[in-house]
Chain A
Amino acid sequence: MVRVYQYQPFDRTFVNERVAEFRDQTRRFLAGELSEDDFRPLRLRNGLYIQTHAPMLRVAIPYGMLSTPQLRMLAHIARHYDRDYGHFSTRQNIQFNWPKLEQVPDILAELATVEMHAIQTSGNCIRNVTTDHFAGVAADEIEDPRPWCELIRQWSTQHPEFNYLPRKFKIAVTGAAADRAVSAVHDIGVHLVRAADGAIGFEILCGGGLGRMPIIGKRIREWLPQGELLAYLEAILRVYNRHGRRDNIHRARIKVLVKSLGVAEFARQVEREYAANRSFAPRVSAAQIAHLRTSFTPPAYLQLRDTDPTAGAPAAFVAWYRHNTRAHKVSGYRAVFVSLKKHGEAPGDMTSSQMLGLADLADRHSFGEVRVTHDQNLVLADVPQHSLAALHHALAELGLATPNIGTLTDMIACPGLDFCSLANAGTIGVAKQIHAQFDDFDYLYDLGEIQVKMSGCMNACGHHHVGHIGILGVDKHGEEWYQITLGGSSSGEVSLGEVIGPSVPKAQVAATLALIVEVYLERRQDADESFLQTVRRLGLAPFKERIYAEDAVAA
């Protein structure tokens, strides 16, 4: 059984009609019947950018869920239409960097055969909804968020009123106590919460975002009954669509509207619209959501007991088990990270052979399902503990078992200057420099959890503001420099990093990180105090002092 949402004939008809429309639009553009200015918003809404070298096609992976036939199709596309690899993004999507424009309609038609598309992966519209990569398997979950994600996917797909917003619009949904979807820096964060009487509803955050004006979302609704979700989202979108700024692209996100009106006034306008639209807004019935839940029923777990797979196991397996696997709510199972952060490789990249190999492993060990994380790794969510040794061996052969999840080298990096026309900086080169500097795994493990997040420009695709260590590429007179922030965090107590001082030249980024973690090791209270805790306790001063000392690298 395929464990992602399965298309009804309705969905299939819609996606096929969309492919036919884009095929016609592409033909008109290539024939000179449609100008570049008129084609741009159309191609963007079908995932197609024009990049540094070639078009870039971003394919939607709704809330990060992939079936193995879908993963095999991505491998096929990488192999036949691209240069044999794809890049997983922080929106849980995949990007192909080398397709030919005239072949894109064919790619979309092939994707449609496995119930995939590239709709609304760019443009000023509602983008791919994202969620917790441990949805359905996390012990701290209040309710599985995926049926709600699918509901939002359907509602937002070619929404007639909200397809031409002032700016892009991102929604994340979480159903657990821990926020593993960075929801606080989304235009809307939807949290499933349980009331004192046991009822489950939503808390709604609005106005978060990164980019040039990083800001943490504010709660505008403490409690929303489940059936009201779409009605309330429509109210937010309508207020934004009518009143969001359109005169300046840098002031057009909803966060600017929320900030300029003030949260209370913004929330009041949303409530007013929500009340006024009562007779027309969509409502979700219990039967409808029950139907959507049938797409996300738990797989046929075996009755297994928890074991300790590390007992007597080789050191390489033990390290991988400790760092790349996580507890599962069902006894006898683990959730497994597939690391796309092999040292020396671009973070988030995967070759077609790796995709095909992983699809086979997912079929064998994890009910034929793969998930994409917002930090550019993959997850096999339901692996029996007795399969772990075999899985580790096979993943290692594919180069997908680097035991670095949660460590400094498990970093987020956008594609940067090598591919993106917006970037100031070559993030992939810097990532490799950091891999080389921190290639001693015992040292990485001693450092504990450190999230490094790197963006090649202000647009912050690499989420640098919420990295424990954030790295931002800046252009200084045509040279690449890097601004470093400390103390950001995307979960728990969400915070934005503070700039540590003047930016450092490209060649010194890894050496600067080495100085930062050196201060941490010297100054932490004990091995239990994490890097983030130490930064929060000490502030920036001791780090600054070391980095900008006269004989230090950055001086």
Chain B
Amino acid sequence: MRKTLWRRELRADGWRYPGESGDGQPVLTLPELLQAAAEGRVGPAGVGVSLGPTDDVELLAPLIGRLALIVVQFEKSGDGRGFSQAQLLRQRLGYGAELRAGGAVKRDHLFLLARCGFDAFDLEPGEDLHAALTQLERYSVAYQGAADTLVQPRRREGFAA
């Protein structure tokens, strides 16, 4: 069972990702979701979708209120596209439910991922909760405003947050 860090706790995941078998609520790929939407098969709430690095998040705009989970899959660690996808989802699309970083997510990326609006992380095997939480609390300040509420961005004396 996949372990997901969510709100400072490790929890067993109840979702079933594309390509996975077994129980759990299915997470659709973006093409699957768009197809279902076109056919009027998307429910009013509780929908999960998984995005690859080239998926255009703006296509989710009409469905955003029905989504309960968006997983941004990192095929390679440190693929910067996922960071932009998250910021767009949180800011431009106003997405408020769970935004999860999946795939090749490294402990050392957690802080910046969280700043971009991710609030859940599939940890790599071997990573522990304590280490992950330490990394999330690594910085108390940041120069920029972003999608998160982790730190107080600089707003005084000269810097535009």
Contacts and interface: CB of A to CB of B under 8 A. Distances in A.
Interface of A: 8, 10, 13-14, 17-18, 20-21, 25, 38, 41-42, 124, 150-151, 154-155, 157-166, 230, 238, 241-242, 246, 276-277, 279-280, 282-285, 288-289, 291-292
Given A38-B106, A161-B84, A164-B78, A288 B146 contact: no
Contact of A160 (B83, B138, B157, B158): B83
A534 to B, nearest CB: 46
Interface stretch (B1-9, B31-39, B108-116): B108-116
Contact of B158 (A166, A238, A291): A291
Nearest to B85: A242
B13 interface: no
Nearest to B116: A160
A164 B108 CA distance: 13
A14 B108 contact: no
A230 B159 CA distance: 11
Contacts of B157: 8, 288, 291
B29 interface: no
The 10 closest A-B pairs by CB, nearest first: A164-B80, A160-B115, A291-B158, A282-B160, A292-B158, A164-B78, A280-B91, A284-B160, A154-B143, A160-B112
What's the dominant secondary structure at chain A's contact region? helix
Contact of A282 (B80, B106, B145): B145
B79 A246 contact: yes
Contacts of A277: 91-92
Interface in B104-161: 106, 108, 112, 115-116, 138-146, 148, 154, 156-161
B60 to A, nearest CB: 15
Nearest to A157: B143
Given A25-B108, A161-B83, A14 B139 contact: yes
A463 B91 CA distance: 40
Nearest to A153: B143
A183 B141 CA distance: 31
B50 to A, nearest CB: 18
Given A25-B108, A154-B143, A282-B145, A166 B80 contact: yes
B87 interface: yes
18 contacts: A8-B157, A13-B140, A14-B142, A38-B108, A155-B160, A159-B144, A160-B146, A161-B80, A161-B116, A165-B80, A276-B92, A277-B92, A280-B92, A282-B160, A282-B161, A285-B160, A288-B157, A288-B158
B25 interface: no
A246 to B, nearest CB: 7
A288 B106 CA distance: 36
